[in-house]
A = this chain, B = another copy of it.
Amino acid sequence: MPNVFLALAHRPEEFRAFFAYHDALMDKQGGLSKAEREMIVVATSGANHCQYCVVAHGAILRVRAKDPRVADQVAVNYRKADITPRQKAMLDFAMKVALESATVGDADFAELREHGFSDEDNWDIAAIAAFFALSNRMANVTSMRPNDEFYLMGRVAKEK
């Protein structure tokens, strides 16, 4: 059981809302793959220096992307990661939402359209970055620890 469940358990209403929100964003269908959704989490959580989210969602990203290296790359500097130009545009926008949302404007949406993202995709990107703005802050304040197994998950072939 991921430690985030334990951390939120003494506040049942917040617990239920948190996971309902999380699942609505991370498990839905749409223009973004599940691996791409996790990339957004890892990149913005790296920018927010959130140990729990980088390690736990880095594990999920490795599993979803079937790639043992992409999570470490995206956590440190997505601009240098082995991802597509479309994914870099997605993360450019996600990082702007995470770090300076007041400056988001029409030029950003035009750029996203050029990479084939729909309005619903843009909402997804923004909403994931925004939801983990919340999540990163709670994990940092509570010094939430990743479960030990997350560190290695998805790194060796047999675990995929």
Classify chain A: how many residues form its interface, as a range.
35 or more
Copies in the complex: 6
A150: min CB distance to chain B, Å: 9
Complex interface residues of chain A between 1 and 50 (CB less than 8 A to chain B): 11, 13-14, 16-18, 20-21, 23-25, 46, 48-50
When distances are taken between beta carbons in the complex, the residues of chain B under 8 Å from A13 are 20, 23-24
A102-B156 in contact given A20-B16, A151-B69 (Cβ < 8 Å): no
Q: Which residues of A contact B (CB under 8 A)?
A: 11, 13-14, 16-18, 20-21, 23-25, 46, 48-51, 54-55, 58, 68-69, 72-73, 75-77, 79-81, 97-98, 101-105, 122-123, 126-127, 129-131, 133-138, 140-143, 148, 151-152, 155-156
